[in-house]
Amino acid sequence: MKFSFPKNKIKVLLLEGIHPDAAEKLRAEGYPVELISGSLEENELAEKIKDVFILGIRSRTKITKKVLENAQRLLAIGAFCIGTNQIDLKATAQKGIAVFNAPYSNTRSVVELAIGEMIMLMRRTFDMSRQLHEGKWNKSAKNSFEIRGKTLGIIGYGNIGQQLSVVAESLGMQVYYYDVNEKLAMGNAQSCTSLAQLLQVSDVVSIHVDGREENANMFSTKEFDAMKGRSYLLNLSRGSVVDLEALKQNMESGKIAGASIDVYPKEPKQKQADYTTCLQNMANVILTPHVGGSTEEAQRNIADFVPKHIIQYVNTGNSSLSVNLPQISLTQQKDSHRMLHIHHNVPGVMAKINTIFAKYDLNIVGQYLKTNEQIGYLITDVNKNYDVEVINELKELQDTIKLRVLY
C-alpha cells in the first residue's frame, strides 16, 4: 500500500534498552530504527528528536514541553511500561502526538515479585541468608511467619492490584483494598472506605498507585502511625509515593518489621550506576532497582504490544488504546483516501470541515469522530478523486492541530 510518507523515512528512536523484539517488528514494517541503551537528558532529547517520527521510551525518559517544541515530525510515542507520568500527556495531545503504553503486559511479573517479597520478608530470608554467607548459623523460628492467614492491604486496585488480590487469596491471605475510584472486588476481597481503615487491619501493605502529583508522599509519618505494629510495607509503584526517611525511622523503632522497595524518588538515568539510599544495610529490607516488571516474559510482551498499536496508528489511523487521544478503532481503508484530522474540540469545527468537503464535492464513504475535553479526532474516507486544495484548506483551519492523509 502507498502511504502519504515513505516508510523508509519514518525514523524510529528507541531509548533505555527496549527489548530488541520491538526494533525487529518496527524494522520489519520498513522503518529505520536507532537504539540507545540509556535515557537522554532534556537538552539532548530536544536536539535528537527533531527528525524522529516514532519515539520509544521507558520510565526514566521525561517528555517535557521543551522536548515537544522540537518534535515537529513526531507522530507517536510508545511508553514500553505501564506508567505514563513521565510524559506530558496534555502537551502531546495538543501537538497531535499519540501516546501508547503497555497497561497489562508486565502485570504478572510485578505480582509475582510482590508475592515473593512478602514471603521473604515474613520469613526474614534475606537476613538469614546474609548471616550464613558470613559464616553464622542462626537457626530460629522467632519473628518468622507464614503468609497464610495474614491480612494483605492493597492500595490501588487497578490491573496489578486486582491480580495480586487473586493470587494472595489463593495462598490463604485475607485481602483488603482501597482505591479512590470505586472498583469491583475480586474473589473475597473487601473494599475499605478509607486508607486509614485499610492500614489498621493489614499485616502487609502493598502499594500499587500511579505517579500523579497528588500521590507524591501519600505515605509518610501519618500513614506509618496508622499501621499495625510489626507490619510490613511493599512499594512497587512509584518512587515519589513513600517517604523513605519516615520508613527508615519506623524500621528503626520496630514499628515496621520489614519493607521491600523497588522504586525511588530519584533514580539513575543509566541501567548501571552507583546509587545510595537511606535504607541501605538495614535489617529485613529488600531493595531492588526498579525491576518489578523486568522479566524476559514481560519485556517480550511489551515489545509485541506497543509496536503493534503504533504501527496500526501509523498505517490506519487506529488510535485504540491511546492514552491521550480520543480512541477510534478502524480497519484499513479500501478503495479510498483516509484523512486523519486532529483538532481542538471547540464548537463549529465539524461544520467547517464538512463545508470544505461539500465545496469540493467530495464523496465521503465513511466518517468517524471521537472527542475528549480538549481534542477531536476525525477520520474521513473519501473517494480517490479530489482536489489537492482540500488538504490545504483543512490544514489552514484555525483549530487544526495535525492532518495526515493515507492513500
Catalytic residue ranges: 238, 267, 290
Region label for 317, one of left (φ > 0), alpha (ψ between -120 and 50) or beta (otherwise): left
Secondary structure of the chain in HEC code, one letter for each residue: CCCCCCHHHCCEEECCCCCHHHHHHHHHCCCCEEECCCCCCHHHHHHHHHHCCEEEECCCCCECHHHHHCCCCCCEEEECCCCCCCECHHHHHHCCCEEECCCCCCHHHHHHHHHHHHHHHHCCHHHHHHHHHCCCCCCCCCCCCCCCCCEEEEECCCHHHHHHHHHHHHCCCEEEEECCCCCCCCCCCEECCCHHHHHHHCCEEEECCCCCHHHCCCECHHHHHHCCCCEEEEECCCCCCECHHHHHHHHHHCCEEEEEECCCCCCCCCCCCCCCCCCCCCCCEEECCCCCCCCHHHHHHHHHHHHHHHHHHHHHCCCCCECCCCCCCCCCCCCCEEEEEEEECCCCHHHHHHHHHHHCCCCEEEEEEEECCCEEEEEEEECCCCCCHHHHHHHHCCCEEEEEEEC
Please write down the long-range contacts of 141-150, taking CB distance under 8 Å and 24 or more positions apart: 143/257, 146/122, 147/118, 147/119, 147/122, 147/171, 147/172, 147/173, 147/204, 148/172, 148/173, 149/173, 149/174, 150/122, 150/174, 150/203, 150/204
